[in-house]
């Protein structure tokens, strides 16, 4: 068991954060390219190749490839797969599938990490609601990632948002994380729990918030491939993730094309260009 203060949180300079922003924008483009191609009939291995091409064109390298032996550039998790699905030529998308795409990229030694869940063709209404609830929970967490707040204020905000949306399973076995010169940095960022605990958030910190919700309960199972995580009850899952930096000018969602301005505004918060909070 890790004791409370066995880690120190990496503090980035503004110059380092602007390199992380570049990595974040590469991740956003990788996800966009893969999502645009995710039509019935395409394999998840083809989506991996498309994302890798986008990454290489930007001069970036993968956060995922080779990570504990991980064999691909992105993760593609279909239906009851929650996270860490390995792209495969024999996994061919069909209309009605719910696909989570997770991507990470390194620019100049600095990491970006983000994920989205999308519908392939037409999906049932409850699948759409699950995806929307998960994305809303992410933005509720992102809006809470401001200097002076405590870490579990984010966890609490994510959980409250998810619960307000409906009776969803909130994954507990996997969490968000701090990020910077490595993809996964301590401490973990749970998607549930009481507020007011953990380290105080400060300028120069960057973290990845990543709620995972299900139409069933929170229990998970790992598949025989050593990576793919599925819901224990076979229910549908969604996963959304962004990397966010805490700056003197407010939160910057590094993996959002617009820095998070529109997403934060939608949940009543303001990003770096906003005028809230005394601007």
Bridge partners of residue 230, in order along the sequence: 81, 221
Bridge partners of residue 207, in order along the sequence: 178, 244
**Contact in structure between 237 and 170 (CB atoms under 8 Å):** no
Minimum Å gap between C-beta 18 and ligand MF3 is 22
Nearest to 188 by CA among 204, 157, 209: 209
Minimum Å gap between C-beta 208 and ligand MF3 is 6
Q: How many residues does the chain have?
A: 279
The residue behind tokens 């120069």 is: 204
CA distance 263 to 119: 20
Q: Judged by CB, which is closer to ligand MF3: 113, or 153?
A: 113
Minimum Å gap between C-beta 100 and ligand MF3 is 10
- What are residue 241's phi and psi, to 5 degrees? -145, 145
Quote the distance between the C-alpha of residue 155 and its chain's center.
14
* Total number of residues that touch Co ion (CB under 5 A): 2
**Contact in structure between 205 and 9 (CB atoms under 8 Å):** yes
| Residue 153 touching Co ion (CB under 5 A) | no
| Residues sharing a CB contact under 8 Å with residue 62, sequence separation 6 or more, in sequence order | 52, 55, 73, 104, 105, 106
Q: Judged by CB, which is closer to Co ion: 63, or 79?
A: 63
| Residue 101 touching Co ion (CB under 5 A) | no
| Residue 178 touching ligand MF3 (CB under 6 A) | no
CA distance 160 to 181: 31
Minimum Å gap between C-beta 83 and Co ion is 9
| Residue 81 touching ligand MF3 (CB under 6 A) | no
Minimum Å gap between C-beta 128 and Co ion is 24
The residue behind tokens 């984010």 is: 154
Tell me which residues in 89-108 interact with ligand MF3 (CB under 6 A). 102, 104
| 68 secondary structure, DSSP code | G
| Residue 192 touching ligand MF3 (CB under 6 A) | no
Minimum Å gap between C-beta 213 and Co ion is 16
CB atoms within 10 A of CB 269: 21
Two structure tokens written together for 139: 């933005």
Tell me which residues in 51-80 interact with ligand MF3 (CB under 6 A). 64, 67, 70, 75
| Residue 111 touching ligand MF3 (CB under 6 A) | no
Tell me which residues in 201-240 interact with ligand MF3 (CB under 6 A). 208, 210
Q: Judged by CB, which is closer to Co ion: 29, or 177?
A: 177
* Residue 64 touches which member of ligand MF3, Co ion, none, C-beta under 5-8 Å by kind: ligand MF3
Tell me which residues in 200-239 interact with Co ion (CB under 5 A). 208
Binding residues for ligand MF3, rule: CB under 6 A, are: 64, 67, 70, 75, 84, 102, 104, 113, 208, 210, 241
Binding residues for Co ion, rule: CB under 5 A, are: 113, 208
């Amino acid at each position: 068991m890790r004791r409370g203060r066995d880690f120190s949180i990496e503090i980035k300079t503004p110059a380092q954060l602007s390199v992380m922003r570049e990595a974040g924008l590469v991740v956003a483009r990788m996800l966009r390219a893969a999502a645009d191609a995710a039509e019935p009939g395409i394999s998840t291995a083809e989506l991996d190749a498309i994302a890798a091409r986008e990454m290489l064109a930007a001069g970036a390298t993968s956060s995922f490839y080779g990570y504990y032996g991980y064999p691909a550039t992105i993760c593609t998790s279909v239906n009851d797969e929650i996270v860490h699905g390995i792209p495969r030529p024999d996994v061919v998308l069909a209309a009605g599938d719910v696909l989570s795409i997770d991507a990470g990229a390194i620019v100049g030694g600095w990491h970006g990490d983000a994920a989205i869940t999308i519908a392939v063709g037409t999906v049932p209404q409850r699948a759409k609601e699950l995806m929307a609830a998960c994305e809303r929970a992410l933005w509720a967490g992102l809006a809470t990632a401001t200097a002076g707040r405590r870490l579990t204020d984010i966890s609490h905000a994510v959980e409250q948002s998810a619960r307000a949306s409906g009776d969803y399973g909130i994954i507990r076995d996997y969490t968000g994380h701090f990020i910077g010169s490595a993809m996964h940095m301590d401490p973990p960022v749970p998607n549930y729990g009481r507020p007011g605990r953990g380290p105080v958030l400060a300028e120069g910190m960057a973290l990845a918030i990543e709620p995972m919700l299900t139409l069933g309960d929170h229990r998970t199972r790992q598949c025989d491939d050593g990576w793919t995580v599925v819901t224990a009850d076979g229910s549908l899952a969604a996963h959304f993730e962004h990397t966010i930096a805490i700056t003197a000018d407010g939160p910057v969602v590094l993996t959002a094309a617009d820095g998070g301005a529109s997403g934060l505004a939608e949940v009543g918060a303001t990003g770096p260009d906003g005028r809230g909070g005394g601007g």
